[in-house]
Structures are given as C-alpha cells and as structure tokens.
C-alpha cells in the first residue's frame, strides 16, 4: 500500500505512525465528530461545504477548531501533495480530547487523515443495487458524529439478505442509508427526505444540479410513496449516484436503472469533468 | 497524581504511555464496548458480573475476547498491585480493531485501565440530589457501548437547571440516568424500570438485597407514577445509592431522604463492610 500522511495536533506524519492516547474522549465516550470528502484532479471537492458542516458539528459538541479554513486548506494541500496517488479520500476528526475523568471535555484532538479511495464496481452503476429497509433513528442524526456502531453491527444483514446496503426508516418516514442519502423519482419529480437525516454534501450538489431540470421536493417521504416510486438512488462522496432497482422484495419501477437517474448522473459526471 | 498502570493488547504499561493507532474502529466509528467497576479493600467488586456483561456486550458486536476470565482476573490483580492507592476504578474497553477501510471489523484492541476513583461529596448522600427529566432513548441501550456523546453533550443542562443529573424517559416510561439506574419506593414497594435500560451490576446487587426486606417490582415505570413516588434514588458503581429528593420542580415525597432508601443504603453498606 502506498504511504499516506496525516495531520495530528500540529504535526504531519505518516498515517501508520499516528497514535492517540487511550484517555481520548472520542475513544472512551464516542465524543467526536468527523467529515469525509475526496479529491478530483488532486483538489478537494466542495471543501468549503465540508468545512462548514464539520465546524457546525464540532460546535454542537462545544469543540473549537483552532485553525482557520485557510490553514486547514494548506495542510490538506500538503497532505495531498505527499500522497503517491492522484485522488484520495480525506477524513477530518475532532474529539473531546484527553479527559481526566472520562466525562469532562478537554482540549480537542484534531486530525486529518489521507485514505485510499474505495473502488466501486462498474456494475453497481450500470445495473443498480438493492436495499433492505430497517427501522432505525440515529440518536443525533444532524451531527456528523462518529456514531456508526449500529451501522457496523448490522453489516452481516447485507450478506444475509443479499442486498447492497440498508435503508433506514422511522415510523412511516424513509430516512437514509447508513452512509448515504436517498432519493426517489415519481412522475419526474425528484423527492428526498428532509428531516432526521445527515445532509450530505453530494446530496446538496445533486439538488442544485437537479433544480435546473426537474421539479425538486425536499420533504417527508413515506414508506407508501417508496413502493410507488418510478426510480430511486443513493448518493455519497465516494459513490456519487448509485441507482437502486430493488428494495426488500419489490422492484422499483421496472427494476431497471431509470431514465431520470441516468440524466442526473450525466449532469453530475459533466459537472465533475468540468472541474 | 499517582502512577497508574494499564493492560493494552498483551502489555502492561503506565497509563500515560498507552496509545492506540488512529485507525481504531472505536475512535473512528464508536465501535467499542466497555465495562467499569471498582475495588473494595483492593479486590474487584462483583468482577464475575462485570465480566459476563462485558463479554455479552462484546459478543453483540462480534468481538471476541481472547483471554479467559482467569487470565483477566490475574491481569487486574497485577494492575491493582502496581497502583499506589488502596481502591481504584477499573475500565475495560474492547474495540473493533485497526480497520483498513474504517468499516470492516478487525482483530479487537483490548485494554484494562486503572483510574482514580471519583470522590462523592458526603452531602449528596445526607441531603439527596435533584434530577431533570429529559426525553431520550439510547440507540442500543442493552449494550454497554461507548456511546455517551449525548450524555456529555447535555452536561451543561445540569448547570443551567441547577440539577445533579438528568433522568431519561421515553414516551411515558421512565428509564435511567445517563450513567446510573433509577428506582422509586411507593408504599414501601421498590420499583425500577425493566426495559430499554442498561442493567447495572449495582442495580442487581440492590435488588438482591432489597428482596429480603421489601416487595420488589422490575417493570415499566410511568412518568405519572414518578410524580406520585414516596422516595427515589439512583444507583451506580461509584455512587452506590444516592437519594433523589427533587425531580424537575417537584419534591419527591416530603423532599427529604426517605426511610426505605436509608434502610436499603444501610443494607448495602453492611454488605460492602462484610466483604
């Protein structure tokens, strides 16, 4: 594996050499938030949006980031420059710091980690994927916290049900996948859940691009509407737009990748190409 | 501060020297469970119960503890022996290990950390404390996971409302405090919530001791019943039994530490003395 670097509390060092003391409140109490984004053509994609969300999440936990956006941007540039591949994933994490009593928040620990980008099979885009619904409401859905215990705990369900991922719902409202936002098309109207979800930066860009072409509705999406959808897809930083053709045992639309989803994917691809 | 030691993946070392790599799934994804107990007269209190709960929590996350109870007991004895004080707190943590893609579970990281015991003001026992109700249901309440983000996030409410701690409820059912179990007495019957809570080891011992003297009911406890309670208290490893005399703006009973609570406290103290 190629050597990647990270920033940790003021130092830049190889990722493999970066350690944190075991009294960290992120480790002992899950008191931490993060953000994750990627580069295109070696430049961070939508960095300003990710930084804004990261600062908001940190602020909700009363954690202060001592660096300016400019300083963080410079560190990221240096880390990317040190990387041996063109495009990478970038994870920023801020924790409650080293705590004497494992409850009191202290000076935050802040790290920026360069990671290899996951590789997606071409087939997921050309054929679409299947999801399984699962009732679950995250404790603090609006904060991008490190709370993924449930998501990881449920991983074996994917194999058990032979699906690509889960789709969380709560009561009769569709929410999101554990790491991705969710959308449907119905009569060429793009609909995506509005509340109790983590608002993805890719979601934001998709809505922006879609508004020029489709009617767009951000609102509560019910389970009943889900079963009547013409098309569906999930979105995310590394996944971009992945068509969903089956949910539980039901086909979405005719069970093929839909035309509106294809059109939106093309818009997104063109936007990326033009960067 | 006195020097404390810890066990980390096979080594015994001073706590201050123990570090974990930043790719740990406990840090990045809150994929970790723990247990916490204390010593009395330099011996771990109810170790078998804590180990059983710890193993159950770990198993729920598909994490396997490679050491036997006997081996863990020996390590704990050595750590206690190295400590410079008579009685200590002991924290065991097991995480999903170092993950290449920050989702896949790997070989667990396992640590046992010796911590100084918190000191409780005598006044909380003699005068009792106040709580504020807060609606909240933990994601995975039965597992002793490290998910305390919400508990820490809400800490400023204690100062804001001038209360000692919060009392979680969900819909009309009383649950627990962020780190403690909750009980009431009504007509000398001891009642404590049964579901959607973390079942404390101190709670278990209290119920065992109480059964000889009081009628005991483990069942759903409603908010309406809360306001009608004669007495109330919280329990925990370091707190033992702390009387609750006020919840929100309402006095519990006559607002003084109740007689049944005093009797139960005496039973518990005598049990500890006889160890």
Residue after which a domain boundary falls, among A60, A93, A115: A115
8 Å CB contact of B149 and A145: yes
Q: Chain A partners of B90 at a C-beta cutoff of 8 Å?
A: none
pLDDT at residue B2, as a whole number: 66
Co-location of B266 and B210 in the same domain: yes
Residue pLDDT tens, chain A, 275 long: 568 999 999 999 999 999 999 999 999 999 999 999 999 999 999 999 999 999 999 999 999 999 999 999 999 999 999 998 999 999 999 999 999 899 999 999 999 999 999 999 999 999 999 999 999 988 888 899 999 999 999 999 999 999 999 999 999 999 999 999 999 999 999 999 999 999 999 999 999 999 999 999 999 999 999 999 999 999 999 999 999 999 999 999 999 999 999 999 999 999 999 99
CA nearest to A104, candidates A34, A8, A19, A28: A28
pLDDT at residue A84, as a whole number: 86
Co-location of B235 and B266 in the same domain: yes
Co-location of A237 and A183 in the same domain: yes
- Does ipTM come in above 0.90? yes
User: d(Cα A200, Cα A219) in Å, to the nearest integer?
Assistant: 15
Co-location of A139 and A269 in the same domain: yes
Structure tokens at A219: 């609102």
Co-location of B104 and B12 in the same domain: yes
Number of domains in chain B: 2
Q: Which alpha helices (DSSP H) does chain B contain, by range? A: 25-29, 47-60, 69-82, 122-127, 149-153, 155-160, 201-210, 223-228, 259-273
CA nearest to A183, candidates A223, A221, A224: A221
8 Å CB contact of B146 and A29: yes
Co-location of B91 and B31 in the same domain: yes
- Test mutation, B6, B35, B89, B152, chain A, max A CBs within 10 A: B152
Co-location of A146 and A23 in the same domain: no
Inter-chain Cβ pairs, chain A and chain B, closer than 8 A:
144
CA distance A168 to chain B (A): 13
8 Å CB contact of B20 and A34: no
Q: Chain A partners of B156 at a C-beta cutoff of 8 Å?
A: 62
Co-location of B140 and B197 in the same domain: yes
Residue after which a domain boundary falls, among A56, A84, A115: A115
Co-location of B158 and B215 in the same domain: yes
> Which residue is closest to A21 within chain B, CA to CA?
B19
Range of the domain at B31: 5-115
8 Å CB contact of B138 and A139: yes
CA nearest to B269, candidates B236, B240, B249, B238: B240
Residue after which a domain boundary falls, among B60, B88, B115: B115
Which tens digits make up the pLDDT trace of A70-105? 999 999 999 999 998 999 999 999 999 999 899 999
Residue pLDDT tens, chain B, 275 long: 568 999 999 999 999 999 999 999 999 999 999 999 999 999 999 999 999 999 999 999 999 999 999 999 999 999 999 998 999 999 999 999 999 899 999 999 999 999 999 999 999 999 999 999 999 988 888 899 999 999 999 999 999 999 999 999 999 999 999 999 999 999 999 999 999 999 999 999 999 999 999 999 999 999 999 999 999 999 999 999 999 999 999 999 999 999 999 999 999 999 999 99
Co-location of A14 and A32 in the same domain: yes
Give me the half-sphere count of Cα atoms (radius 13 Å) on the Cβ side of residue B216: 15
8 Å CB contact of A150 and B140: yes
8 Å CB contact of B30 and A138: no
Give me the half-sphere count of Cα atoms (radius 13 Å) on the Cβ side of residue B206: 31
User: d(Cα B197, Cα B138) in Å, to the nearest integer?
Assistant: 8
Distances (CA, A) of B95 to A149, A217, B6, B36, B248: 10, 41, 16, 15, 37
pLDDT at residue A138, as a whole number: 87
pLDDT at residue A7, as a whole number: 98
Give me the half-sphere count of Cα atoms (radius 13 Å) on the Cβ side of residue A180: 22
> For residues A134 and A168, is the Cβ–Cβ distance under 8 A?
yes
Co-location of B134 and B92 in the same domain: no
CA nearest to A192, candidates A221, A231, A214, A225: A221
């Amino acid at each position: 594996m190629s050597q990647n670097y990270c920033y940790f509390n003021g130092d830049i060092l190889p990722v493999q050499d970066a350690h944190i003391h075991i009294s960290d409140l992120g480790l002992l109490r899950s008191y931490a938030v993060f953000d994750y984004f990627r580069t295109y053509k070696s430049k961070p994609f939508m960095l300003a949006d990710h930084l804004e969300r990261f600062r908001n999440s940190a602020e909700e936990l009363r954690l202060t980031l001592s660096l300016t956006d400019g300083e963080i941007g410079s560190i990221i540039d240096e880390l990317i420059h040190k990387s041996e591949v063109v495009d990478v994933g970038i994870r920023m994490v801020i924790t409650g710091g080293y705590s004497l009593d494992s409850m009191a928040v202290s000076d935050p620990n802040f790290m920026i980690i360069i990671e290899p980008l996951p590789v997606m099979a071409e087939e997921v885009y050309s054929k679409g994927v299947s999801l399984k619904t699962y009732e679950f409401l995250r404790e603090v859905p609006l904060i991008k916290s490190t709370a993924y215990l449930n998501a990881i705990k449920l991983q074996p369900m994917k194999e058990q049900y032979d699906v690509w991922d889960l789709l969380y719902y709560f009561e009769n409202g569709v929410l999101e996948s554990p790491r991705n936002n969710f959308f449907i098309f119905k009569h060429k109207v793009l609909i995506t859940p509005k509340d109790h979800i983590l608002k993805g930066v890719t979601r934001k860009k998709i809505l922006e691009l879609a508004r020029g072409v489709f009617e767009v509705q951000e609102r509560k999406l019910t389970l009943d509407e889900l079963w009547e959808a013409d098309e569906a897809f999930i979105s995310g930083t590394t996944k971009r737009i992945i068509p969903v053709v089956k949910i539980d045992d039901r086909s979405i639309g005719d069970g093929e990748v839909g035309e509106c989803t294809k059109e939106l994917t093309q818009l997104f691809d063109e936007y990326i190409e033009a960067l």
